[in-house]
Structure 1
Amino acid sequence: MTLNAASFALDTQSTDALRAQAARDPKSATKAAAKQFEALFMNEVMKRMRAATLESGLMENRLSQIGTEMLDQQFATQMTGLPGGLSAAIERQLSRGLPSTPGDALSTGGLAKPAEPLPDLPKKNVPEHVARFIQRHGDAARAVAQESGLPADFMLAQAAHETGWGRARMKASDGSDAHNLFGIKAGPGWTGKVAEVTTTEYVNGQARKVVAKFRAYDSPEESFRDYAKLLTGNQRYAQAVASAQAAPDNAAAFAKHLQKAGYATDPEYANKLARVINTTVRVQRALA
């Protein structure tokens, strides 16, 4: 039996709403999805029953058919969600694929990433581009945090700082996204893809525009992993890593050690990064 999705309210808007709800509360979204599937099934049953009933031909016309279809949809909605109905069984089946914790989504193939649209942004006083950046990269940051021991908030905030919350994405020469979220340059030992970009460097405290080669990646997740590998695998950043792991709530200490190790030439880099980390933590609490 083929279910006609156009005959009921499971359209693009309602699907997007379910995806957004799944990002906030997977269990309630599963329940809502189960009810919609049951309503679709009941509506199809009503249609098949109507089709099996002989029509007199005297009163039937297009207007009466539309009225009958609307009435069938109303009956289907009223019969949905009743105790012992199909929705409970559908909900149990859908729940088997849910990740146990939000951080499991990237690795288990469950609800991979929060979906658009974002909820109640004006009420939460969160700029849309800021919320979207956190929504897009939060899972990758948490996954790499579990692998490396670096705080997800620190990595997410540094990526936000380097890219202007995703609005200044690095491009390769062919116009494709380099997915370099941390401004990591391509040194002599780098054998991967490269993007040549005009950037600002500070020489003796003076800002200068220079063209430099940066690493390019196939995905943002690859960028997070390479950043973690760079910090944890280089003795130069040992103090920054130790500070982050020992005090994951001390953004200022991590940023100071990172600048001292020479991660960036901007003399205000540590102060700027610490502010962005604190902002990232507040925004995530607001969106929770």
Structure 2
Amino acid sequence: MIGSAAGEASFFLDFQGLNKLRADARHDSPKAVRAAARQFEALFLQMMLKSMRKATVGFQSGLFNNDQTRFYQGLADQQLALSMSRDAGLGLAKLLVDQLGGHRAGKSPAPGRAGGAIPLNPAAKAFPLRHRGGIPLRRPAGTATVPLSVAPGAVTHRPAADAASASDPVGFVRTIWPLARAAGVALGVGPAVLVAQAALETGWGRALVRHPDGRSTYNLFGIKAGPAWSGPTAAVPTVEYRDGVASRGVDHFRAYGSYAESFADYVRLLRTDPRYRNALAGASDAHAFTGALQEAGYATDPHYASKIQAVLDGSTLRDALAVLKAGDDRPLT
């Protein structure tokens, strides 16, 4: 066991320091976050050293190649790992501090400095990772804006109202349906298909990508920020698929000022990127449209199209639409 206190214990068998770290962690101490991150890096370094020892076992022989030597060698490696993590280390501890929220209980990052901890959003805990495509979705430089087919003033959206009203499936559908209908006209896609895709990407609005300070990015379609994107972005943990194997990482996603901007950028993307030509050609058929999106590389998830279809055919969307169609506040057409 590698024991270390938030007060920088220097010996790997310091169990008293480990108990102090446990106590500090109960009070959400930023020192405890940093100490725990260094502990994790020390464990990683210890595993690395152990693997290096095993890789050379076939070349060891002689008087000192015995269990006793290996025992004390293991103790020395544990101390070496702890010492390395307390010095410059590999940088893993710093990354962990950023992800675990090392700044939230202490002082804020310096102004103008990029980064900061990704906040733990209570509303988004049920959807901690986003299954997104590995191919960056980007707008070709210099392309003109493709307007949505919406009459001026027909739909008025305020960002604050968007966030407040999209707290459940019914509120989510009510909020974005007018925009989905307009985007559907521009793309030739049924609005329910776009609502289903947005619901899959955001967990019905509860798992939207957010800025480090908690503000929503209003990114309904999981569009990544490629090199051509010059607007604001937000970084979140993701799950990518390579040859059918899932792997975790961190990606940057585009940030908008409202859901209307998100829909407009989605329409622009599909109408200007030649990869989605087949998707638009079969836009009138939901299965053909979502299948062509997946084949074009919109997402690396091998089941992306079937997941959209499952939301589209599921009872949650069907019930939400039924509630809204029966209501008097904003009937769906």
Counterpart of 1:107?
A: 153
C-alpha deviation, 1:231, in angstroms: 0.8
C-alpha deviation, 1:282, in angstroms: 6.1
Within the alignment, does 1:267 sit opposite 2:302 as a pair? Answer: yes
> TM (normalized to structure 1)?
0.53
Counterpart of 2:265?
A: 226
Is residue 106–residue 140 contact of structure 1 (8 Å, CA) maintained in 2? no
Within the alignment, does 1:251 sit opposite 2:283 as a pair? Answer: no
Is residue 251–residue 278 contact of structure 1 (8 Å, CA) maintained in 2? no
C-alpha deviation, 1:144, in angstroms: 2.4
Counterpart of 2:241?
A: 202
Map Cα deviations across residues 10-66 of structure 1 (whole Å, 9 max, x no partner). xxxxxxxxxxxxxxxxxxxxxxxxxxxxxxxxxxxxxxxxxxxxxxxxxxxxxxxxx
Give the whole-Å Cα distance in 2 for the aligned partners of 1:110 and 1:225.
14
In the superposition, relative to structure 1, how do residues 193 and 252 fare at CA in structure 2: closer, same or farther (>3 Å)?
A: same
Give the whole-Å Cα distance in 2 for the aligned partners of 1:166 and 1:111.
16
Letter in 1 for 2:153: S
Map Cα deviations across residues 203-253 of structure 1 (whole Å, 9 max, x no partner). 221211111111000001100110111111111011111111xx2xx3222
Map Cα deviations across residues 174-203 of structure 1 (whole Å, 9 max, x no partner). 321111111000001001111111111112
In the superposition, relative to structure 1, how do residues 286 and 268 fare at CA in structure 2: closer, same or farther (>3 Å)?
A: same
Letter in 1 for 2:297: G
C-alpha deviation, 1:284, in angstroms: 1.8
Counterpart of 1:239?
A: 278
Is residue 157–residue 260 contact of structure 2 (8 Å, CA) maintained in 1? no
Map 1:152-163 to 2 at 5 A: 152-163=191-202
C-alpha deviation, 1:262, in angstroms: 0.5
Give the whole-Å Cα distance in 1 for the aligned partners of 2:157 and 2:302.
41
Within the alignment, does 1:181 sit opposite 2:223 as a pair? Answer: no
Q: % of aligned pairs identical?
A: 42
Give the whole-Å Cα distance in 2 for the aligned partners of 1:194 and 1:134.
25
Map 1:1-288 to 2 at 5 A: 107-108=153-154, 129-244=168-283, 247=284, 250-279=285-314, 280=317, 283-285=320-322, 287-288=324-325
In the superposition, relative to structure 1, how do residues 254 and 149 fare at CA in structure 2: closer, same or farther (>3 Å)?
A: closer
Is residue 190–residue 286 contact of structure 2 (8 Å, CA) maintained in 1? no
**Greater fraction helix:** 1
In the superposition, relative to structure 1, how do residues 174 and 256 fare at CA in structure 2: closer, same or farther (>3 Å)?
A: same
Question: For 1:107, what is the secondary structure of its paired residue?
Answer: coil
In the superposition, relative to structure 1, how do residues 207 and 285 fare at CA in structure 2: closer, same or farther (>3 Å)?
A: same
Is residue 155–residue 224 contact of structure 1 (8 Å, CA) maintained in 2? no
Query: What is the alpha-carbon root mean square deviation over aligned residues?
Result: 2.9
Give the whole-Å Cα distance in 1 for the aligned partners of 2:194 and 2:152.
16
- Could you tell me which runs of 5 or more consecutive residues in structure 1 were left unpaired when the two chains were aligned: 1-102, 119-127
- Aligned residue pairs total 171
Give the whole-Å Cα distance in 2 for the aligned partners of 1:216 and 1:269.
22
In the superposition, relative to structure 1, how do residues 109 and 286 fare at CA in structure 2: closer, same or farther (>3 Å)?
A: closer
